[in-house]
Structure 1
Amino acid sequence: MKAITIDEFGGPEVLTWTEVEDPVPAPGEVVVDVAASAVNRADVVQRVGLYPVPEGESPYPGLEVSGRISALGEGVTGRQVGDEVAALLTGGGYAQKVAVPAGQLLPVPEGVGLVEAASLPEAVATVWSNVFMTAGLKEGETFLVHGGTGGIGTMAIQIAKAKGARVVTTVGGAEQAARARELGADLTVDYRTEDFAEHGPFDVVLDIIGGQYLERNVRSLNADGRLVVIGLQAGLEAPLNLADLLFKRLSVFGTTLRSRPPEQKAAIVSEVRSQVWPLIESGAVRQVVDRSVPMAEAAEAHRIIEAGGHFGKLLLVNE
């Protein structure tokens, strides 16, 4: 098969479409013939050398795919060769084939195309595990998500709104604000001209930015508020007044999805199947795809991601 390899860290040009060995399913795994993968910010961070591959996992980028099962490992039940699936991965999605633990598979939702389904597993699992399983967002609470027009943001807006929250998001400009409101955002805040903290208080904040956003995130939280930090685009460090945490009884969580053990990922995927897949199949939540790019041209997709301005996910398609 062929896969996108990273032979040295650097710019998008280091992504190379290369002949590699086919994956073999370990016990409890299946092999999926990949129809499409999706580009995540984590793939970019891996490419530049700041997001190491977990030990023993595929070195190829790609944290989610859709496709058809082509082989079953020992002990796999309830799956058949030919099943159309979407899958949450620890890596290896930028390829023609990938081995996946069976617990990380999802059926392709009714009404969603096989290729488009690749846009769902990572974003949905990230939002559900952090906003609902960790932060416990409840109906009637106010939720802030930073970066409302990216892959995570577009999904977070929709799921939180479908679950009865008031949704606020930061965006970059009037066009992005309009599109975020179309997805269900009650309020948009232009991060270039406004201070989002002035639009609080918020009960839950999902932060992909990190760095200097920490102090304002904490300051903007309601009593008993919860902040979940899942990205570090603005840096690794920031000052924090601990009195804010104490007097308002705040909780601050830092999480990643990729490094969780398979049993945790399987538990998240199970909840996604029962709690979010019905919302997708009913049309209350939809996949948001900016554009598709041939898998061999992954470097171009990374350039688009780094330039910004896209809306939703970019897909890499095997042709």
Structure 2
Amino acid sequence: MYAITIPEPGGPEALVWAEVPDPVPSDGEVLVEVAASAVNRADLLQRQGFYDPPPGASPYPGLECAGRIVALGPGVSNWAVGDEVCALLSGGGYASMVAVPVGQLLPVPGGVSLPEAAALPEVTCTVWSNVFMIAHLRPGETVLVHGGSSGVGTMAVQLAKAVGARVAVTAGSAEKLERCAELGADILINYREQDFVAELRAATDGHGADVILDLMGAKYLEPNVRALAVNGRLAVIGMQGGTKGELNLGALLAKRGAVTATSLRARPADEKAAIVAAVREHVWPLLSDGRVRPVVDRTLPMREAGQAHRVLDESTHVGKVVLTL
């Protein structure tokens, strides 16, 4: 098969389309012929040499894909050759074929194309596991989504609205905020021009955010705690703003707040399977009836993965960038 390889870490030019050995499905796995994959910031870190795949995972980038099952490994009986699926991966999505544990497979939702489906597994699993399974966002609560126009952000806005929450977002331009509003965001904050803590508190009559979904990490840790409501929950899912910050425990105690930090890629297979099952139960019906939709900024041929990485580096996109075969 062919895959995007990384002979040496570096810039987008380090991504090389090359012929590599075919994967072979192990017990409890299926072989998927990839029609599309999607780009995540973790892929950029892997390209730069900062985020190696977990032990035993494919060495090629790509944390999600969509395609068709072409072979079943031993012990697989609940899927069939020819099924159209999308999948959460530990790696290997930037390739023409990938072996996937059955617990990480999802059927393609009705009315969703394969390229659109490739943009779903990582964002739906990230949002559902953090905002709902861990932070327990409830109807009527306020959630603050940093990077509301990102792939994760656009899904978080839609899922939060679908359960009846009030949604605040930060983004870096009026155009991106407008797109967030189209998806249902209620409070729009331009982080380049406004203090998000002050704007959020003004818009919520001083209440703040019951849940915050944060991809910045250290840079936003202190203001995020200030933005929390009493009994608020801060879910950290990224470190774009650094890895080390100062946490005022007194401020957190005064709010009876909670801070969690998770990653998805390195979780054990059984934990991933539980998240995927919850997403299939709760999110897939919303996709099938059109209340939630994948947001795809653009599609590019997989051979042009370097260009897709440049798009993410420039942060001009809204939603996901998809690679197609």
2:205 matched to which residue of 1? none
Q: CA deviation at 1:106?
A: 0.4
2:204 matched to which residue of 1? none
Residue 120 in 1 paired to residue 120 in 2? yes
Task: Find the aligned partners of 2:164 and 2:8 in 1 and give their Cα distance.
Answer: 46
Structure 1 runs of 4+ with >4 Å offset: none
1:155 matched to which residue of 2? 155
User: How do residues 39-188 of structure 1 correspond to structure 2 at under 5 angstroms?
Assistant: 39-188=39-188
5+ residue gaps in structure 1?
none
Task: Find the aligned partners of 1:122 and 1:239 in 2 and give their Cα distance.
Answer: 29
Q: CA deviation at 1:53?
A: 1.1
Residue identity matched to 1:258: R
TM-score calculated relative to the size of structure 1: 0.99
1:202 matched to which residue of 2? 209
The 3-state SS of whatever aligns with 1:79 is: coil
* CA displacement 1:25-44 (0-9 Å, x = unmatched): 00000000000000001101
1:278 matched to which residue of 2? 285
* CA displacement 1:95-135 (0-9 Å, x = unmatched): 00000000100000001012211010000000000000011
Residue identity matched to 1:311: V
Residue 291 in 1 paired to residue 280 in 2? no
1:241 matched to which residue of 2? 248
* CA displacement 1:144-189 (0-9 Å, x = unmatched): 0100111000000000010110000001111111110000000110
Sequence identity, in percent?
61
* CA displacement 1:47-86 (0-9 Å, x = unmatched): 1122121111111000000000001000011100000001
The 3-state SS of whatever aligns with 1:45 is: helix
1:15 matched to which residue of 2? 15
RMSD: 0.7
1:220 matched to which residue of 2? 227
Task: Find the aligned partners of 1:162 and 1:149 in 2 and give their Cα distance.
Answer: 17
Task: Find the aligned partners of 2:15 and 2:266 in 1 and give their Cα distance.
Answer: 23
Q: CA deviation at 1:265?
A: 0.6
Residue 262 in 1 paired to residue 269 in 2? yes
State the aligned residue count.
318
Task: Find the aligned partners of 1:72 and 1:53 in 2 and give their Cα distance.
Answer: 24
2:311 matched to which residue of 1? 304
TM-score calculated relative to the size of structure 2: 0.97
Task: Find the aligned partners of 1:109 and 1:223 in 2 and give their Cα distance.
Answer: 38
Q: CA deviation at 1:46?
A: 1.1
